[in-house]
A and B are shown apart, each in its own frame.
Chain A
Amino acid sequence: MVLLRSVPPPTEGVRHEQGETTAVLDGKGLGTGTLYVAETRLSWFDGSGMGFSLEYPTISLHAISRDLSAYPQEHLYVMVNAKLNDEMQENAHDDEEDEDEEDDCEGITEIRFVPSDKAALESMFSAMCECQALHPDPDDEDSNGDFDGDEYDVEEAAPEHGQGDIPSFCTYEEGVSGLRAEGQATLQRLEGMLAQSVANTFHMAGVRTDETNGEFDDGVEVDAGSTVAGQFEDADIDH
């Protein structure tokens, strides 16, 4: 359940706390309170104990909205990948005012956090980005069907390291060790072809070949000579 009515605001790992912040849930104003961007969850409470918390895996998207013609105040926009009921009130459902936003096929909830201090929006946004990165999906449920099944043989894969959407690959050594003689000969032939094609390729703008990607920050240098070889290791493996 995404909406937790009685959970208190987090006290640890709070990356950003923003008071005097109005919360608007699917177009319905909930009053003014305090937003807590914590490492464990995103919470908002109005001071009287009423509020809600969101788990980061349910937050599809967040952004800063500055276009006053679309909404009269600058705010932090949050899209939740779930349909939230207004559980903060014990009464019967009275959140019928914005029907046009409730019938999305996926079931989403749009929340706006409107701070009185607009200068805090960047910090709120950044804090959410950081906390989102702390909550990657634990299971590689997505099969990444866009990849060609012949090239990414996950049957041979070692246990994944929880890299989220990145599929697991077996290492070059694991693959080669399973090849018969003719398989290895095929591998060598394909490696040669690939090495030749890589060597002849111009450095396409923006496409990294052997530079370390700072974004991934693992400090590993990619060696084209050793890593291209493992691509076809499954070509002749008996399954």
Chain B
Amino acid sequence: MMSKVVSLSRVSIGRGIACRSISLSAVSPVKKITETTTGSTTIVEATDVPLSSAPKAEVADKPHSCALCRYPVKIKYTDVLILEQLMREDGTVLPKQLTGLCTRQQLRLERCVMQAHWSGLFPDRTIPDFDRSGYKRFNRYWDNDIDMYRTQLKEKPGIWFYVNQYNPRGSLFKPAKKAESAKSD
């Protein structure tokens, strides 16, 4: 019978510096659970994870607790690199408890992530059966995160006059170009 020895987290604030993992470089604030088996004992502990060497964003003199409220710029659906920091690998958004954002920014983030998914800006983070039927196949853009709630119908006069000189529907019957180029490559 294997006995599991669970050691307390190596970094507990009360214990002092001796118990911390010794790393003279900046102490990475993020932990990860790791299991190490030696013989009949398994140690489950939280080890440090070195964060990417990305530069830390500059914070103003009086920082807000919300990571997005600090900056006077509204987040948009095109800010893919910012949205990725607050998303999971499967394309879902982290909850408010983990992002640490205020309600307003959290909802805005969720709306922007939805818009980015609909625009196809996350091709490696979607499910294979993402709904792209009908009008969803065509390109769309948003000026604002609230634009997705504007549901007024707009009527335009239909124009009977048309000049179809270059066979405009011909592209619908052409063989798929991507398949051809993939075969040639």
State whether these chains interact: no
User: Residues on A close to B: CB < 8 A?
Assistant: none
